[in-house]
């Protein structure tokens, strides 16, 4: 089982990276309180592929002032 991190911990551990988050606990409709990181890297392609394959992950860049988050695709399965 992967460790849940706060948004501040995610930004500190994965600066300027795309992260794929699961089990997201939201502060409000657009701000993450905590989550489990299932992907971290320089490209948004991998989390997008996972979303399209039906995985419930949220792809976001850890420096939101630079880029907008991709959002989340949710499977209707």
Neighbour count for residue 50 (Cβ, 10 Å) = 18
Residue 41 belongs to some domain of the structure: yes
pTM (whole model) above 0.85:
no
Domain that holds residue 31: 4-61
SS3 at position 4:
strand
Report the alpha-carbon angle 34-69-24, nearest 5: 20
Q: Report pLDDT digits (tens) over 37-77.
A: 999 999 989 999 999 999 999 999 998 665 455 555 555 55
What confidence score (pLDDT) does residue 2 get?
82
Residue 40 belongs to some domain of the structure: yes
Domain count of the chain?
1
Residue 39 belongs to some domain of the structure: yes
Q: Report pLDDT digits (tens) over 5-45.
A: 999 999 999 999 999 999 999 999 889 999 999 999 999 89
Residue 73 belongs to some domain of the structure: no
What confidence score (pLDDT) does residue 67 get?
47
């Amino acid at each position: 089982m992967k460790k849940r991190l706060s948004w501040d911990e995610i930004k500190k551990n994965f600066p300027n990276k795309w992260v794929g988050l699961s089990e997201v606990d939201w502060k409000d409709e657009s701000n993450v309180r905590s989550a489990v990181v299932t992907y971290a890297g320089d490209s948004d392609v991998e989390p997008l592929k996972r979303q399209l394959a039906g995985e419930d992950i949220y792809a976001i860049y850890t420096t939101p002032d630079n880029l907008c988050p991709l959002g989340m695709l949710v499977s209707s399965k």
